[in-house]
Structure 1
């Protein structure tokens, strides 16, 4: 395979459909995005792993939704990994890339560096938030932390909140080709039953962990048989196939699902991107009085703000902030 072919599939999400099984899916290859997300912070390895998994899920889920603006994933727990947050911004126009950003908040003193990363979340919840932009009401769906991975939490969310059987196969980590530098790569496949309503779904009884619905609770008959067969085929995937780059996504889909009649659609490029700006910081501080702003002012007489996603640093004249601001001031940064 040529270098150009490998690069063509880097940081892309490929939509596909299994016509025989009535199942849709996404196949993602994420490398540059992962590198840039994790380069913004010096995370311990256990936190890096959680952020990397969340980025993979965000890339896959974001591409399945008719999104006009932003999808966010939030994982909050009472363990040392307190928060994992990601955003997926829909492309501004056809052919342009979607943008992903992510960050984590954690208690370094409580973190067990030798533990499984998922165990560091503890009890909490997994949330999906949709914001379609001005003039719309944001949507949020929440499910408890369950299973042994963020992927299993996402599967539980779709079964419980959307009653859509969903399966993720993910892999991610540092990779190094001969003579090259080490860098992050991720690969994943998402399978999801098409959302035609089943008469059983309204009556389904939950049998999963924490009384959550599972695919077995939602499907029966031919639907259940098709779902089981597609999942058995996905079980044969190898990590090296998921992560690439030597096997292209189209070759992998044919290898896994050729009997299910896979059909692919246009791939969606994804990039690291952040929407922070001085104007957005000003807007977020516009609800405060000059007295409140005074409490935020440093000894040097400025108000500072740092973006948790990209690390951008902003400095402001306190007189230009809040609802009593004298003026907008000049450029900040």
Structure 2
């Protein structure tokens, strides 16, 4: 394995299909993307872990959306980890990288910074939102927080809201390559049954937490056997194989699923990206009156705004803001 082949698979998502099992999936490797996302903030370790897991899930799920669409994942809870939010922007042209950004909101006074991360979300919901652009109604799907990780929340969402059995194997953390500084790396595999025209559901409700659906509540017969076989094979994966960089995604698929006839498609590069701008901030403030803008104005006579995703700082003259603006920008 050469350094060049290592770098080639960093910050990519590789789609694949297991022809024998009728299962599709993705392999994701995040390196620079995750490092850039987390370097924007000084998060405590528990929050870093949640953001890293959420960013990896976003890369795996986002690859399925079409060009120019935006996919957002959100987890909101009543615990000290109040919000984890990520966005995936589909590429504007074939061959261009997709963009990912992420941030977290938390209560530092209640947070156990080095404790287990997921329980600190508390009770709440996991949501997926898809924005298809101007003139289209955004899609939103929500399921309750369930299981012991963000991964299981996402699996529950797909079983409950989409009737699509889905499985994630994820690994993430700080790692050090020879001669390099410590940095974040993440990798994962997503498996998902091919969509059916009329998914099969057994009985009323599901067998999961709170009556939520699980894959075994949806599949039957050959579909269930194929799904179970693919999952047993995925159970043999090691963390170091997921994160890389010594094991290429193509080699990993052959190692895990060679009997399932894996077939790969074109990889999708991803990078950190934020769409904030002064014009977008102006648009968001256009609904406020002159009185509201005055309340936002600092002692220095300006209105300020900071992007929660990338940390960009904006300053405006108050007279140029709101629907009662008296001065052009």
TM-score range, shorter chain: over 0.9
1:201 counterpart SS class: coil
Give a deviation string over 1:119-138, Cα, whole Å, max 9, x none: 11000000000100100001
What's the CA shift string for 1:41-73, capped at 9, x where partnerless?
A: 000000000000000000000012335321000
Contact 2:58 / 2:88 at 8 angstroms: preserved in 1? yes
Q: Per the alignment, in what secondary structure is the counterpart of residue 177 of structure 1?
A: coil
CA distance in 1, matches of 2:88, 2:207: 32
In structure 1, C-alpha distance between the alignment counterparts of 2:67 and 2:158, rounded to whole Å: 17
Q: For residues 223 and 56 of structure 1, what CA distance do their matches in structure 2 show?
A: 27
Q: Distance in 2 between matches of 1:2 and 1:265?
A: 23
Give the equivalent residue in structure 1 for 2:186.
186
What are the superposed Cα offsets for residues 122-181 of structure 1, whole Å, 9 maximum, x if unpaired? 000000001001000011000000000000000000000000000000000001012210
Contact map agreement 1:126 1:142 (CA 8 A) in 2: yes
Equivalent-residue separation in structure 2 for 1:149 and 1:67 (angstroms): 30
Cα displacement string for residues 198-234 of structure 1 (whole angstroms, at most 9, x for unaligned residues): 4523856311111100000000100000000000000
Partner-residue secondary structure (3-state), 2:61: helix
1:307 equivalent to 2:303? Answer: no
d(CA) in 2 for partners of 1:200 and 1:291? Answer: 57
Question: Any residues of structure 2 matched to 1:158-237 within 5 Å, and which?
Answer: 158-198=158-198, 200-201=200-201, 205-237=205-237
Q: CA deviation at 1:112?
A: 1.2
Structure 1 CA distance for aligned equivalents of residues 56 and 263 of structure 2: 22
SS at 2:250 equivalent: helix
For this pair of structures, how many residues does the alignment match? 329
Question: Displacement, 1:294?
Answer: 0.2
Uncovered stretches (5+) of structure 1, i.e. residues with no partner: none
Matches within 5 A, 1:98-177: 98-177=98-177
- The corresponding residue for 1:275 is 275
Counterpart of 1:82 in structure 2 is 82
Per the alignment, in what secondary structure is the counterpart of residue 240 of structure 1? helix
Tell me the equivalent position of 2:48.
48
When residues 65 and 202 of structure 1 are mapped into structure 2, their CA distance, relative to the original with a 3 A threshold, is: farther
User: What is residue 93 of structure 2 aligned with on the other side?
Assistant: 93
